Amino acid sequence: MRSGKNKGHTTIIKRAARREHHAPHGGAWKVAFADFTLAMMALFMVLWIMSSVSEEERKEVVAKLTGESIFDGVAISPLSSKGAALNGPNLIVPGKQGGETGTQTDPADMEIIDKLAKSQESLADVNERSKQEMVELARVIMEITRAFDAQSNLQMEMVPQGLRILVQDDKKREMFQRSSAMLTPFFQSLLTQIAPVFNKIDNKIIITGHTDSSLYRDQTRYNNWNLSGDRALAARVALEQGGMRQDKVIQVNAMADKMLLTPDQPLGTSNRRIEILVLTHAAADTLYQFFGNHGEKALAPAIKEIENRQAHP
């Protein structure tokens, strides 16, 4: 009998413990980890960029991305007796703008911070250094002007775009022979002496020619547009013959009689002049952006430029 077989056998019944069901885990840690990973990737990207480019290339990138424009609401107007033009050793310089900021960090990160500080200048530092260089340039040019006793023929002014140098006629001296682009010996010598000074800084320059309102009989064959352009080109040639590097000039302009210094005296001698504008780096970069650098857009992505330089050292 089955009952006989089961004698002395103990039946054990196991009851599984009831497990408590906890609430599902949240995904906040995933978001935090993603943020941390992204921050680390950005840090390594910045360090890679900093180690891959030279100091000059970093300045170019900063100027292109944050540089001030020479076309944003600041018109280039002629010098006047009411402006900040100079007839002597004094130079009016715009006040220093902005301030310096600093942060404290963990001592373990100081080495990285020190390397970055040594390899990168802030935009304010670059602008301040450029301004000081232009002030020194103006001082040297003024010394040459005094040696030539040409204070009445040369004026300077600090403008947001850089240092403007005005070389003009007066009642005693004419820069060019009348109605021609032939420099007179005095101004040829003056420009020759000034020329090497521009090589002391790496700023680009613009040369602009201006005339008075005297008209040629045959305006179709030759007029003040032609004359002002030819005179600006003659000044460029004189500067280059005097030792200025050819790559310093970024633009040569002809203004004819459209910007008279003395509108009430359209035939006045002061209207016949050459203006040399020593551009800030930001102004020069903006000019490249406006016209395009060698036919291409000047604001190419920074990383792409760096990769191209690394691929073709």
Give the right CATH number for 122-279 from 3.40.1280.30, 3.30.1330.60, 3.40.190.10, 3.40.50.620.
3.30.1330.60
The confidence score (pLDDT) of residue 91 equals 42
Q: What is the pTM of this model?
A: 0.58
The confidence score (pLDDT) of residue 35 equals 79
- Report the DSSP pairing between strands 154-159 and 205-210: unpaired
Residues of the chain with pLDDT under 50: 1, 67-105, 108, 112-113, 115-116, 118-121, 298-299, 301-302
The confidence score (pLDDT) of residue 33 equals 79
Domain spans of the chain, in order of start: 122-279
User: What are the C-alpha distances in Å from 204 to residues 151, 245, 251?
Assistant: 24, 10, 9
The confidence score (pLDDT) of residue 50 equals 73
Rounded to an integer, what distance in angstroms lies between the CA atom of residue 55 and that of residue 296?
A: 23
Tokens of 252: 């040569």
The confidence score (pLDDT) of residue 73 equals 39
Do 62 and 123 touch, CB atoms closer than 8 A?
yes
The confidence score (pLDDT) of residue 293 equals 64
**Closest Cα partner for 129 from 62, 72, 218, 48?**
62
